[in-house]
Every structure is written in C-alpha cells, then in structure tokens.
A and B are shown apart, each in its own frame.
Chain A
C-alpha cells in the first residue's frame, strides 16, 4: 500500500529539509551534509546549486537565498521563509510515538523523565490523530545494549552473565563483542568467547549483566571460525501446525508425514519435542528417541509418586 515517491519529488523534499538544517548548522561540511541526507557529495553539491537559485519572487540578490559552499563548508543567509523545519508528517509522528514508548519502558520506574515523555506522547498523538496508545517493548534492556554498543565502539571486552537456554545454566564469560545482529525479531551478539576460546553467538535477551573491561592478553587464541556440523533429524507433526512450523523454523511444514530438519543442538531438539506437548514426534535419530522416552518416564514417575500425587 506504500507508494514510492518519484525522484524530483524526493529532491524537493530534501531541498526543503536542507534549508533549516543548514540554518541550524552553519559552517557544516558538504561531506557531513551528504551523510545526514544519505546522498553522495556530488548530489549534495547539485542540491546546493539548485537552492542557490531559489528564493522569493523577484530573484534578485535581495530575494535569493544567500548560500555559500565553495570552500566545502556551507552557510546560508536570507532564508527566513524556509528556516523553520517542516511539520512532522503522520509516519514521522508514529515512528517517534513507538520510539518514545520504548524509551519510557527503558526508564527506571522512579525516573523523573516519565512526565516529560508523557507530555511529548500527548502532543505527538494529537498531531497524528491516533487516539489509541502506540506501545512497544523489547525484552533486551536498553541500558545493557548501550553498554554493549559502547564496548563495541571503544573496542573493549565485556564480562557477561549469560543464561543458556538449552542447558538452562547461568555462566559468566569474558567476551570480545564483534557485532549485534537482528534476526527474526531476536537480537544476537556475535562475539569471541575467551571462556570457551571460540566464537560464540549470544541472545541479547539472555544476557543479564555486562561489564566492560580492558582487552585481555589471551586475545582470540582460536581466531578461525569453526562451526559445528548440523545434525539431521526427522520429525512428524500431528497437530498445531502453525506453532510447530514457527518453533522448528520449517519452510514447508506438512501434517502427519515425517520431515527432515537440521539442528546444532540435541538438547534443543529434546526440549522442543517435550514443549510440543504431543503435537510433534521425533522420528529419528533413534538414540535421541530413546532418550526422550526415558526422560518422559522419569518425569512421569515423579508425578505418580504418592507425595506429589
């Protein structure tokens, strides 16, 4: 439903936004301007040349905007008509409203900034014409992400407390963070783990603490990326097809027939079969099937014990 705007229209939008931006940043370099407006320095030069020809009717030196950019640094005068930035449009309002709700959820409960955020939300909501709250939360703490991002920029190691989902254990590790990546709504931290002496991927929402520290001497003993080979498994889904296809990340899920899937962790497969509560059966490998049956019997026995019955 979103229509892309044609090039000359986008140019006009950028030209109108440039005037107030330069007015507020007198002396900014063409390079920085190009970066801010996501265009090449050549395009920025063309933009400035066009603006240089614009102004109030009459178009004499008195009416034209007084733009100087020969030195590679830009100043603007005589641009009062366009000096105030344009009103926020609907999309801009909603982007800010969702963002403000995230900021609000990231603030501590006692923060004195809550009324300030609420007042901004109220003003933007009126402008957007939306009467319902735009809400957004993220399981990753915004303070924790700030610590990690700052370690990434200043090239510091981190000591993290990590809860491993598959083994259900808390561990403390020293890592060299490399990159944060978003995949399917989940944020991952790619890092070199000095505790394991290997590259590891951590789910950001499972990191509970992160403390920066100076880079350790034993820096990356095994700098080659060694990925484990995936194991092949076969599963058979008997019900709740949508949930199962989401859980096992299946592209072409089918009901009742056995289908192959790949995994890097047997622990994960066992837990996922249990968490499917009968909607999915493991067909192969056989040793893992036996493990599931044994485990299920063990849990069953406890449920059947008289003191727990």
Chain B
C-alpha cells in the first residue's frame, strides 16, 4: 500500500518528465541504431558501463569513470528528490507505526523505478555480457556498480552519509577488482557486493522534510550569490535570475550536458582535421544545444504559473514576460552555442562574421522551441526534434 501511494505520487509529480526522458531515449535509439546487429547495439548502448572493463584503461581512469557514473546516478536523484521522497504526505507517514526496514525497501524500489532511463545502459551491458567471456565476474561487476550507485542515491535522498564510508570501501574493492585477473576479480567483486549490501541495509530512510529543507538552503545560497551582485539590477532581471537560481540543480545539469555537446563537437571536428564535415556537425550541435537549453522554459513556466494569479493583475503586457524568458534561455545557451563556431574561427575554418551569423541564427529556433514546451509539453521532445531538423535544413542551405 505504502509503495503504491509513493509510486502514484511520483508518477503524478514527474509523469511528464519521465515520459519526455523515454521519448528522447526512444528517438535517439531510432536515429542512432537503424539496422544494427543486436550485439553492436548493446555494446553501443552499454558503452558507459562496459568502458571500465577495457584492458587499455588504467587504475586512475577507472577510478574517475566509476565515480562519474555513480555521481550521475546521485545527481539524477537529487534533481527529483522532492518527487522521489514522497511529497508532503510523506511527512505524515513518518508519524505512522511503519518499520524503518519497510521505509527503506519502499525508498529503494521508488529510486530504482525513477532511475529506469539510467538502467538502460546497465541492461544493455548485461545483454552484451551474454556474448563475452568471464560472464560471472562481468555480471558481478554490473550488480556491484548498480548496488553501490543505489546506495549513494539513497544516501543523497536521506541526506545522511553515515554509510558513506562503507560505500567508499565497496567502491575501492570494486575498482581494485577490475585491476586483477579473472579468479581474483570474482572473489573481490563478491566482497565488494557484500560490503555494498551491508551499506544498503544500513541506509537511513528518505526524508521529504530534509529534501525540502536542504533544497531551500542551497537555493538560498545560490540565490544570495547570484542576487548579491545584482542588487542594482531591474526587478524583472532579478526575477529571471531568481527563477534560474530556484531551479539550480536542473540548470546546472543542463549546462553540463550542453558543455559536453560543445566539447565533443570540438573534439570530433579536430579529429576530422577540420574538413568539410566541420560546419554541418557544428550546425547539428547548435540544434542539440538549443533543444537542451529549451528545457529551461519549463522551469520558467512553472515559476510563472505559481505567481500568475497576482501577476496578471499588474499592468505588464504578456509579451514582456515571453521576451524575458526567451532572452534568459538564449543567455544560458550562448556560451555553449558559441564554443564550436569560435573554435572553427580559431582554426581558420570560418570567418568571424560567419561564426557570429551561425550563433545568431540559432535564436529563432530557441524562440520557437518555447512553443512545444509551453503548449504541448507531452510531445515537446518530438516537436522540438522536428523544429530542430527544419532549422538544420534551412541553416544548411545558408552556411554549408
């Protein structure tokens, strides 16, 4: 019963987000994997999980990579912590005579279900292992990684890191195991799994009050950091800054993804020796960055809707708010959208005015992407992808 209520609350709070994640994943799979053999598909989808097993990588690389995977899992939960931790009703449930063990089981189940998009590479890796040798140790590795990540996710949810030391030990044994031969690896991975399971049993239950309190506290800090330097700014600019600060975790995660897209584009362009594919790839990256940045419209809309009843009584034309939102998203995307074109300018592939034109040409796309986010949020991934494709076709005619 408790699990069913928690899941209903989670679905209510995040249904649209989860649906969009799956839409994006489905579209990516359709675009990237047409007519590929099953093994190649699973290798590609499971690449992040399979990477630490490659013999070419050293201890340091594995250490960083495994921690990065776990950090992504934690960030995933931190962003959704209010929905996952059960909402305001969870505060009341804590007063009921329910055992801590039951709370923990419910927490772990909700986190696992909430993390289904992240489990896709794990599942793909598990399928890929069916075609590879050393099955026992490989499956143990995936299980270890999943349990340790789940441990960190639950720790992030409860805001109690009492079991952090145990998880660190499990992590070290896991990374150490990947450095050894197959027999020793299996034994060490089993030891790591035992330690991780112990940490999981010792995890504190999730706390909605904690999640909200800490969320408020770090929003306050971010708000103060951003607004202290902006005291003299007009109230409407401060308002936009405040909204961005209020959705700090989401904005930061989007900036990380946009940064990764910009960096990957520069890397691939360099790898290709700045040949004729450089500009088309840059245009594609611009469209992807615009798509990622456009998710910020949802944060802006959510904040405006909350205050809309009063704000509509003020003498402000509605277009003013729309312009402010588009400008805010454009400013957020600009550094990432400008990175690849400037990189091409630095290597003499593009003239500065052409690079500026490419960056500016993304503005209409960014403004248009507000429409699906605002008026068709359920289909925003598909409609956004269509708009981005149309923009690429038009920009291709001009710049390529």
Q: Does B bind A?
A: no
Mark B residues whose CB is within 8 Å of A: none
Mark A residues whose CB is within 8 Å of B: none
